[in-house]
Amino acid sequence: MSIAIAMFLLSGLPSSGLSNARRCFADDEVKTEVESEEKEAAELSVAPLSHLIYPDDRPGWIDQPIANDGKDYSLVVTAGPSGSMEEADELIGVYARGAVQSYVDELVSEQEWATEPEMIPLDIDWIRDELVVRRYEGVVQVGDEQQFEKAILIRIEPEDKKVFETAIADMKLKERLAATGIVILGGFSLLVGGSIVLGGLASRQKRPTAAA
């Protein structure tokens, strides 16, 4: 009888250990899940650095794509987010000149050139005074940091296009004059060289006659 009781008690020990192990493992799972949820909540409470929040008064024309109806050509140039308004202003000038330069380069590429055409210089003050029709400057929230943004709307009208076409025509004229000048200079050099050779032959023919 005592042997049977002992065997019964011993057979119950593994089952009790297994139950405790399962209970501990379940507790670890619950603890891990709670810690994961707490970590996610903490991450969501901090805005990511790449998250941008624009003010409500930001104009809708800033998001307009490039438009070309065959008459007017318009595009939006933006600068920012930047650390200061001065930095945004400097960047907007660089981007504006680059955008207009690309437009002029397209006009230049439509012409036939004997040599590689020169780049037509563009004045940023002229661009700002003549081509910019809308301006905006404001703040933008980048994560937890406030930065600055600038935007302009550039519109190239037929009168402005004529200014570029006139500059391109002047450049083509200079190219032709340069090519013509090379031809004329080559012909003049050949003429002078021929005169020197003929003069030398004539002087050689005269010398024996004078000696006789």
The whole-number pLDDT of residue 197 equals 44
- Residue 126 included in any domain: yes
pLDDT per residue as tens digits for the range 47-102: 555 688 999 999 999 999 999 998 999 999 999 899 999 999 999 999 999 999 99
Neighbours of 45 (CB within 10 A): 7
What is the residue range of 82's domain? 52-178
- Residue 169 included in any domain: yes
Report the candidate in 130, 115, 113 with the shortest Cα–Cα distance to residue 164: 130
- Residue 24 included in any domain: no
* Residue 148, beta-bridge partner list: 82, 139
- Residue 60 included in any domain: yes
Q: What is the pLDDT along the chain (212 residues), one digit of tens a residue?
A: 544 545 544 455 454 454 554 555 455 555 555 556 555 554 544 455 568 899 999 999 999 999 999 899 999 999 989 999 999 999 999 999 999 999 999 999 988 886 677 778 899 999 999 999 999 999 999 988 999 999 999 999 999 999 999 999 988 888 888 777 654 555 545 555 545 444 544 555 555 544 44
- Residue 193 included in any domain: no
The whole-number pLDDT of residue 119 equals 79
- Residue 207 included in any domain: no
Place of tokens 């302009």: 152
The whole-number pLDDT of residue 180 equals 76
- Residue 45 included in any domain: no
The whole-number pLDDT of residue 95 equals 97
Question: How many domains would you assign to the chain?
Answer: 1
- Residue 67 included in any domain: yes
